[in-house]
Structure 1
Amino acid sequence: MSVMMSKNKGAVRVSARDTPQPVNTLMLVLFLLLGSGLIMMTSASMEIANSLAGDPFYFFKRQVFFIGLSLLLMLVTLHIDMDIWYRSSPLLLCLAVVLLAMVLVPGVGTVVNGSARWIDLGFYRLQPSEMAKISMVMYMAAFLQRHRDEVHERWSGFMKPMIILGAVIALLHFEPDHGAMVIIMLTTFTMLFLAGARLHRFVLIVMICFAGVVALAIMKPYVINRLTSFLNPWAAEYVYGEGYQLTQALIAFGRGEWLGVGLGNSIQKLYFLPEAHTDFVLSIIAEEMGLLGVLFVLALFITLIWTALRLGRESEARGRYFSAYVAFGIGMLFATQVFINFGVNTGLLPTKGLTLPFLSYGGNSLLISCFMVAVLMRIQYELQVKTDPEPSGGAA
């Protein structure tokens, strides 16, 4: 506010110069991802929606509803102090574990394509594995807040979280949901490493995980088939079998070239590419928007992940360790899920059904993804208004 006075005219002229506020990076990236995702998901789903429901905008309407619900959830989350999440982290993890167990109960869990990952509530299919990801991050962050020295100095501080992780992994294995298993494991290991766990202690865990993968491949031959088809999806024995989705995704990338064939002009979404509006929406983006469209989406995710890690570093420097580890964990959740989805769509990784946050159709992923961004925004807010370090006790 500036005041200017003219002696000749005896008048006072007041002019207000509002200081421009910096753009909130998290909010900008969120709305760009939501907008891009809604457009591309709708384009990818119109044919199948018309075939299944007689309405080409069936999935669009449902996604708009979930976006509205997600924004409402964000509004509530923004008003919840991080200390509350710290104290309630054991309860959140217990709830997630109970729900993971419930999907294995016949008559409670809903089986789709051989996997029991959902609980049918009538109006909505709840996927507990999505809740388990953020619940595990919250619990691990609270544990690391209380036991930083033990994690750094003793084996006990490293092995205690492994017991909790093992229980969650076992439940996910029996669903099965191997994608969520990998994401939760990598995120937990990263949080432990950032908390100061000795690098050599990871060697034993890596060996156990490798032995588990070998045992899984022996017990379930389709795992070996997926790995083999991934290495050469164009082979005659795979191109119409295990390698079909990957070959169709690669065709979509090839058709898109640099600038794409234009919004709505994809051919691969016309029943050639299964799950075009969920797990393989990135391939439709590549076909219709080209490589530049894919790079734009990738840049948005990199910005989101970098912002989460930056908030974690700033919180750690302020002694706000719970907020720091939560931010690191959320950043890693987004990073692993985006990396796996991009890798599957481009043929860098074996085919695995895993949604792309904010862009794929689905209420569970969208709700949890928006919730995680809201938690990051709350951490950002508390860094601006709070100077005291977080408590070191209060959660089991």
Structure 2
Amino acid sequence: MTRRVDGWLLFSALTLLVLGWLMVTSASMEVAGGRYGNPFYFSLRHGIYVLMGLGLGLAILLVPMNWWFDHGFELLMIAFLLLMAVLVPGIGREVNGSSRWIALGIVNLQASEVAKLFMVVYLAGYLVRRLDEVRERWSGFIKPLAVMVFMGLLLIMEPDYGATMVILGSMLGMLFLSGVGMKRFLLLLSATISMAGLIAILQPYRMKRLVTYFDPWAAQFDSGYQLTQALIAFGRGGWSGLGLGNSVQKLFYLPEAHTDFVFAILAEELGLIGALLTLLLYSLVIYRMVAIARRAGDIGLLFHCYVGFGLALVIAAQTFINIGVNTGLLPTKGLTLPFMSYGGSSLLISCVMVAIALRIDLETRVKRQQNSQRRGTYAQS
């Protein structure tokens, strides 16, 4: 019986992990030296996160997909408890005005990262159990919508607008791929876009970001500071970059250089060529995850298929938003770059998502081989 897994997915994900460690080290040395007296403070911690992510990924690879299917509702409840817990004073840890983390020793658990994974698992199980109802009746469509709205409200209260968009966008994609009626889907899409616009204009700081987005240089030393510094980093990088470790913008010019804006530092040090190769690696991760999901769907493993597509959508959406923010394509918001940005929760969950995709691939290969053996047996008989 075959035990192989998708080598291209594994290779691209591991390459991004290593590249991320290098870029976090390069981008954080000056800040870490000035703040903690140790230039490798963030690098060492990120290295521990990488090792933890690899260990957790290996453990998750051993978990059969049936377990996720059977415990989808319980995992959703855990996600809601975590999202509510971060709002409780004394439990939630506030950073830069947002209460998104729960301190767990070496790792600050970001509830929204866990919620992304568990919401995908729950919705995939729901679609398998209620697929006909979702496709044909309003009742099957409204139930997951209510869950999504409640989760979105909790995320906005933190506030975590970026994670809200990633989760809602990914869930919309899963509903669309399940074959939901176009009328209902378009109605939901319109409502989501309207709600996103309303949220953006109700909060003054979000409205300020939108205004700055259209002309960041008009507020270069105010609300447009991060974006203009990121754009300067891209300009300095040119075609081939300044060389690894030679970034100027990381020298206290670009805030959050090792977290939300690590891609700008990568472009400055490795140039357009390095940035495009990095985008190629992300494209390869997403493409292989989609290919794995399609193969699972082709042999009737619908839960595997929906989970695979959902995880690919989450990684694709988060990558697009982060890089869009770095390049000025989207308004500035705090959202990590999967596999690369400094941050334990994001890196661990990214590793878990890849491990689940590899598990889907493994079970799909086993199922296909079993089907082939059955067809051979029938032919002989």
- What TM-score bracket applies, with the shorter chain setting the length? over 0.9
Task: State the partner residue of 1:178.
Answer: 161
What letter matches 2:304 in structure 1?
S
String of CA shifts for 1:210-263, please: whole Å, max 9, x gaps: 43234324431111110010000011xx11111110000000000001000111
Q: Matches of residues 65-214 of structure 1 in structure 2 within 5 Å?
A: 65-214=48-197
* Residue correspondences, number: 367
What letter matches 1:179 in structure 2?
G
Identity of aligned residues (%): 50
Q: TM-score, normalised by structure 1?
A: 0.90
The one of 246, 250, 266 equivalent to 1:269 is 250
What letter matches 2:54 in structure 1?
L
String of CA shifts for 1:334-377, please: whole Å, max 9, x gaps: 10001001100000000011111111111100100000000000
Q: TM-score, normalised by structure 2?
A: 0.94
Task: State the partner residue of 1:311.
Answer: 292
Task: State the partner residue of 1:29.
Answer: 12
Q: Matches of residues 270-349 of structure 1 in structure 2 within 5 Å?
A: 270-349=251-330
Task: State the partner residue of 2:338.
Answer: 357
C-alpha RMSD over aligned residues: 1.4
What letter matches 2:199 in structure 1?
L
Q: Indicate whether 1:240 and 2:221 are aligned.
A: yes
Give distance in 2, aligned partners of 1:117 and 1:345.
Answer: 22
Give distance in 2, aligned partners of 1:65 and 1:359.
Answer: 14
Change (3 A) 1:381 1:217: closer
Give distance in 1, aligned partners of 2:232 and 2:104.
Answer: 38
Q: Indicate whether 1:63 and 2:81 are aligned.
A: no
SS at match of 1:274: coil
SS at match of 1:117: strand
- Structure 1 segments, 4+ long, off by >4 Å, are none
Unpaired segments of 5 or more residues in structure 1?
A: 1-20, 390-396
Change (3 A) 1:22 1:305: closer
Task: State the partner residue of 1:380.
Answer: 361
Unpaired segments of 5 or more residues in structure 2?
A: 372-381
Give distance in 1, aligned partners of 2:237 and 2:208.
Answer: 29
CA shift at 1:41, angstroms?
1.0
SS at match of 1:197: coil
Give distance in 2, aligned partners of 1:207 and 1:34.
Answer: 37
CA shift at 1:155, angstroms?
1.4
Contact 2:80 2:151 in 1 (8 A): yes
CA shift at 1:151, angstroms?
1.3
